[in-house]
Amino acid sequence: MLGRWAQQTYQIGQRRAARLMGVGWSTWLYREKVRPFDEVLRRRLREMAAIYVRYGYRRLTVLLRREGWKVNAKRVYRLYAEERLIVRIKQRRKIARRQRVATPMATGPNQLWSMDFVSDKLADGLSFRIFTAVDQFTRECVGLEADRSMTGKHVVQALERARAERGSLPIGIPVDNGSEFCSRALEAWAIERGVQLFFIRPGRPVENAFIESFNGRLRDEFLNVEWFSSLEDARQKLAKFREHYNHQRPHSALADRTPAAFAELHRAGKKKPNTSMGRALQSLLIEPLECAKGLPNQEKWAVKT
């Protein structure tokens, strides 16, 4: 608060600082009240919005009142807006079911993947698309496939190949609002496999920063310097890039380790937590966080890597 800054900087009293800043004394002394009722209401509102995905705050208010909540529309709207549950009034096309929940943070391998698409051209000028997928925790590239066109069925097939390679699927996958990710084929696969699709808000790619960072590295280090004579040539070169990215390229967010080496350290640390070697491996896993303290712009640096 500006008034408190002036009080501390110039060593003046509270009343004088309030007068200089033009702030009323009652406003100066105001403290936000703790509202435990709002937290309970907020939790119930999130649950109802997840069930009734196309209901606005007015209909949700009616449902809350039916359950016995003594609330008005203004309070519900305030919590509704703070939780970012606002839906679009006009729906342009039929899309897959979307869960309006916040994306959690990954605390281990194979918990959260991120996926997206990148476009490029062959030597004859024909365009092709590249499916990209990364593990948010280990930064490993779990999927990198090219084709002339990509549909929801192609995405399902790519994810099945990634599952066969890694042995399991993630709990959730953050995605944008592209037609491939909104398809019925991908929705049916996600329900069958028990995978949650987290749709980011339209126009907010930063909410899926891990895949955006990988796409930037892919574009800068590979697509901008390679020439593809055919689609098969592009697929072979993409496979080599993925191998290099996972096993050779140092990643600054992982203390310059490769994603594969970081994943192996994490697995070894979990297997031997009580031995001296296990404790040493765990200290190596914590090292990136300690190294990060010395970087003034670590958050921006991690997104750029």
* Average pLDDT, 10 consecutive residues per value, the chain (305 residues): 73 81 78 74 90 85 92 91 76 54 78 94 93 95 93 94 93 90 91 91 86 93 92 95 92 88 84 50 46 40 38
- Alpha carbon distance 58, 108 (integer Å): 39
Is 66 within 8 Å of 25 (Cβ atoms)? no
**Which pLDDT score is estimated for 54?**
75
- Compute how many other C-beta atoms are within 10 angstroms of the C-beta atom of residue 203: 9
Distance of CA 245 to the CA centre of its chain: 21
- Alpha carbon distance 187, 286 (integer Å): 37
**Which pLDDT score is estimated for 32?**
65
Query: What sign does the CA torsion over 97, 103, 107, 109 have?
Result: positive
**pTM for this structure?**
0.60
Q: Which residues of 157-194 are buried (b: 16+ CB within 10 A; e: fewer)?
A: bbbeebbeebeebbebbbbbeeebbbbebbbebbeeee
User: Where do we find the tokens 């096309």?
Assistant: 93
**Which pLDDT score is estimated for 102?**
62
- Alpha carbon distance 249, 261 (integer Å): 10
Identify residue 282 by its one-letter amino acid code.
Q
Burial class of residue 209 in the structure, from the number of CB atoms within 10 Å of its CB (0-12 exposed, 13-18 middle, 19+ buried)? middle
**Which pLDDT score is estimated for 289?**
42
DSSP conformation class of 93: S
Q: Which stretches does DSSP call E strand in the chain?
A: 113-121, 127-135, 141-147, 172-175, 196-199
Is 129 within 8 Å of 150 (Cβ atoms)? yes
- Alpha carbon distance 199, 181 (integer Å): 9
Q: Give the three-class secondary structure for 172.
A: strand
Please choose, from the candidates 179, 115, 187, the residue with its C-alpha nearest in 3D space to the C-alpha of residue 144. Answer: 115
User: Where do we find the tokens 């890694």?
Assistant: 166
Strand 127-135 versus strand 196-199 pairing type = unpaired
